[in-house]
Chains A and B, each alone.
Chain A
């Protein structure tokens, strides 16, 4: 039932739009937001679901706090954006290249941080993403514009058609999301996933049971980074014009909030958490007193954590 709803959503919004049109011609105005607006919110929420799933691998599966996830998102966004806008490459080549590029950075970041634990790992990941952020902001020769501006990223084409309408973007992200869920789910229930869980529960015990920490942590970093980069590549073509401002530290925090809200390490939880937080900001626009929007956002975060300290879906519920 939910699946059908998800697949048919663009149809629903299309129908609603036409219905409103019909009434509008008869001078009746229904207070219903346009379908494109809702679809845009949904597409962005799906993008965050994908990112949350990617981030979830590191803190959720291996137990390391990652505060620099936005770095991979940035790598993906700029790899795809520059390849497409500056070199005119096809999105379908740029997307996998972005993922590979992201994975490389994941490994690069992972190599020196393998023996770090807890908050030392967290602050190094933060410093790492901040460095990448500075590079795209400052190096105009590389990016081609001030402050990381990459303009007019062309829409991807499929069978000669340009994909830019919201319903097309919606299916586009839905497919990427479904693939990600598949990958993450398969990984979690594989040998690799069990090794991660062992590392999360007790690193030393895992090591003494013969789990190669270096290898399994590296896999986690690479997969997580690649998913982040895919999200970035999608974002680049969706947003058309990107700048460094979209990849600030706050984004890392925002995505982290999503997975904690949903329940760390829980796939369904990450999806639900991302869905809630990504649309909450828009939902809160109803407050007539606009300045209080993020104040209430903060209060909601506090309240959810107060009453569901282990997240909406805790790990136990899943098993």
Chain B
């Protein structure tokens, strides 16, 4: 907690605490009276007797600052709490009840927000008299619309979460749902906003006081002190500087605390959250031979330095790929399959440390800078990702997005690019491609969007197409269409395809070769039919038996893999799969098994499943 909030946060909290305490305990502190004139010689600088000097009337500035804090902070905290007290229930009501309550509250709120706030404050204070109470109420009321809006937004976002629905299904009454399910979740963003609000109110009160519209003299307020000191700027600058600095630090502290609290609610906890970059010495690459092949990955490693420790997301993966072949990379979440292809493409977050080599037709891609990679991504390496919506720009038409790579990479003119785009869209099975050019991504279905991203990936005629879970977000009938399309395009363009998927049945049907990953390492690889028919590594075998198949009988008991995937920060010694493996023995806990070669079908296991039982138990698994 402490580390995530940072030292600045605690300094800010400390400052607010000191000022607050001083204001509360002002009467007990050994201070001069704030209104005692000629407590010392007027306009003198800091001295032992008067640590912050004296003002024009010889009053002690420290004392006046401390008593001024009573007004400034009192108004700041008081107005925010009062605004919260009025605004939060309205916001929760609007966000939770919706419909009429929401419409009325928000309509009134919008009108209130349209009021020129400071003018309103000036008018009210001028009319009703400048007293602490009036200033506080005016500033509180001015803050209400913003509170309503914030709390309503937060409530809305939680009221639609499934845990609220679950509470209603349990039969929980509305009031209890509000208090137990919604309020605790809204509290954090509200607390963050409260601090920022306090900063705003302290400044607002300062402005009013500066204009003489806050608490009247002799009661000091920070804004008032600055105003008084103004005339002494040349003879005794400390009189104006000190309250200014105090106010500045206080406002800064409130904002800082508010900001950090908000960051705390925004950041999702995850072991992979990159926090700071630590320079790690480059990883050595084992001796290897650059082969005459389209794509060669040699000992690819991707590590992340996280606050919890070193995460080896990809740990030594090698493969080669020829034209006209599909290589599938399968594994469960956290196995490193997506990180592997991002690593190959050089699309990693800044906190990643990359090792190993990637060769495209014998040329080392890892030696290229990100700028140099750009000329390869697109023209030679095409990419299709899981969520087509994130790959497409929502505010640009399909036409501009498909023609852009054609014009940039291939240098086509506007007309040619357009004609080529139409041809491409037609080739991925989009009906009426000319009309499609003028449409926006949100107007298309998920399947159509994925077809568009495939068309874009193909636009510059890549040698290798990387498809990362290309159909996971799609319906099953659409999924089949898209996979057929990818397969057909591979033939037509004579490309190689790298298909990343968690779905074994998809892989079994469309891949030539398969790599099974677990905890960042390759645990089994080989020709797809071979691996699925005769899995040797217990994990592959268990994974195949864990997936339900249509050919299984009803109520068929699936194979359960006990436990869960390992924590990448804290991998077990030896084989990573050992804790979940039914066949593990002593050796598995001591030495990590290497990938052993056996007629193109390799597996990393000390005690591989015998071929006969593998056939018996896993026979139907490939089921082409």
Task: Indicate, yes or no, whether A interacts with B.
Answer: no
